[in-house]
Structure 1
Amino acid sequence: MVNIFKKIIMTLLSEIKKRGLFITILMNLSHLIGITRGLFYKVLYFRNINSTFFSLQANSKIEVFNKKAKITMGKFVFIRKNASIRIDFDGVLQIGNNVFINDNCNINCVNRITIGKNTKIAPNVCINDHDHNYKKNTTDHLIRGEVTIGENVWVGSNVVILRDTHIGDNVVVAAGSVVKGTIPSNTIFLNKRETELKPYKGKEKVVQFSI
């Protein structure tokens, strides 16, 4: 606990030097509100959430729908605005130290999702460890899997991470990607996409290019 407060003080002094006192006060007031909201959810789900202090900013929420569900958060987890974390059944969600989750992210866990330390998640990312069983060939309406995101991973904006995905350490996931399967460590992952420009007047040729 002493080390945590020491780090906070050192960070504040550094921010004052870079940003100025007034801006630093405003910014950290927002952080204080986020930490207060985090404490509220920690108390609300005291049997389900195991954590130290974490920041949960405006309109972000945690929903736990089963007494068996567990959330573990490491130190200095920061969750920005309008994020939604939902966990059900006997799901286990583990978030490591110094993880940053940006605006409008959705994490839906019914089995197991692990996010390694120092990972940064950009806005509008969706992470699911399950699919709906549209074939209805079992009594369970869900098909359950796992998602593992390694340490020091950067997940770009608008990424969708599907069940049974394992992302190694130091991976960069390009914006707009749909991820499923195993991604080796120390790689850049992107979906190859082709764009077509189809004229609606005249007889011009279709132009294709890859991004």
Structure 2
Amino acid sequence: MIHLLKKIMSVLASECRTRGIYLTFIMNISHLIGFIRGGLFKLLYFRNIRSSLFSLQAHSRIEIFNKRSKVYVGKFVFIRKNASIRVDFNGRLTIEEKVFINDNCNINCVNKISIGRNTKIAPNVCINDHDHNYKNTTDGHLIMGEVIIGENVWIGSNVVVLRDTVIGDNAVIAAGSVVKGNVPANTLFLNKRENKIIHYSHSKPLSEVI
């Protein structure tokens, strides 16, 4: 405990030197409110959430819609603003320690989603372990799968992670990618992109050029 307090004081002193005392105070008040909100959601869903100390910043929510749903959140998980986490049916959502989830992310779990320790997720990322069963409405409206994200993974902005995806440790997912299937460890994943520039004159309609 004494060692932890010493470390906290050392970090605060360093932040004050680099950011200034006032901004360091404002930033840490924001962090404190986030940890309080995390604790409140843990109390709200005390039968479903098992967690250590984690931060849930303004307008971010955890919603659990089934008594069988389970959420585990490791210590020092940091979830920024406007994130939406929804768990339903027999969903099992695991977020290991020191995971960072940025603004406006969506995680929708009805079966199994696991996010490994030290993983960083950029803004506007969407992670789903299911699809809508649009072909056959008589057998249930969802097709369920799993999403397994390893340790120390970096996921760029505006990425969509679909069901039945496994992302290995230390992988990097390029911004704007749509991910489905297996991404090996220690690799960079990106969807093929091609810039195309078409020149046209005002005398010719664009439809005749394409």
Q: Distance in 1 between matches of 2:2 and 2:114?
A: 27
Specify the alignment match of 1:56 in structure 2: 56
Identical aligned residues as a percent:
67
Letter in 1 for 2:37: R
Specify the alignment match of 1:125 in structure 2: 125
Specify the alignment match of 2:198 in structure 1: 198
RMSD: 2.1
Aligned-pair CA distance for 1:2: 6.5
Q: Distance in 2 between matches of 1:28 and 1:61?
A: 20
Letter in 1 for 2:40: F
Distance 1:31 1:206, change over 3 A: farther
Specify the alignment match of 1:73 in structure 2: 73
- Deviation string for 1:129-163 (max 9, x for gaps)? 00000011652210000001110010000000000
Q: Distance in 2 between matches of 1:199 and 1:104?
A: 37
Aligned-pair CA distance for 1:6: 5.2
Distance 1:61 1:7, change over 3 A: farther
Q: TM-score, normalised by structure 1?
A: 0.91
Specify the alignment match of 2:15 in structure 1: 15
**Correspondence list, 1:88-167, <5 A:** 88-136=88-136, 138-167=138-167
Aligned-pair CA distance for 1:22: 1.3
Misfit runs of 4+, over 6 Å:
203-207
Letter in 1 for 2:161: I
Q: Distance in 1 between matches of 2:7 and 2:183?
A: 33
Q: Distance in 2 between matches of 1:69 and 1:8?
A: 35
- Deviation string for 1:94-116 (max 9, x for gaps)? 00110000000000000000000
| 1:196–1:206 Cα contact (<8 Å) kept | no
* SS in structure 1 at match of 2:131: strand
Q: Distance in 2 between matches of 1:193 and 1:106?
A: 24
Deviating more after overlay: 120-129 vs 1-10: 1-10
Letter in 2 for 1:134: Y
Q: Distance in 1 between matches of 2:174 and 2:120?
A: 13
Letter in 1 for 2:34: G
For structure 1, the residue ranges without an aligned partner over 5 or more in a row are none
| 1:171–1:188 Cα contact (<8 Å) kept | yes
Aligned-pair CA distance for 1:200: 4.7
Letter in 2 for 1:24: T
For structure 2, the residue ranges without an aligned partner over 5 or more in a row are none
Aligned-pair CA distance for 1:198: 3.2
Q: Distance in 1 between matches of 2:3 and 2:116?
A: 21
Q: Distance in 2 between matches of 1:138 and 1:9?
A: 60
Distance 1:180 1:5, change over 3 A: farther
Q: TM-score, normalised by structure 2?
A: 0.92
Q: Matched residue pairs, number?
A: 207
Letter in 2 for 1:50: R
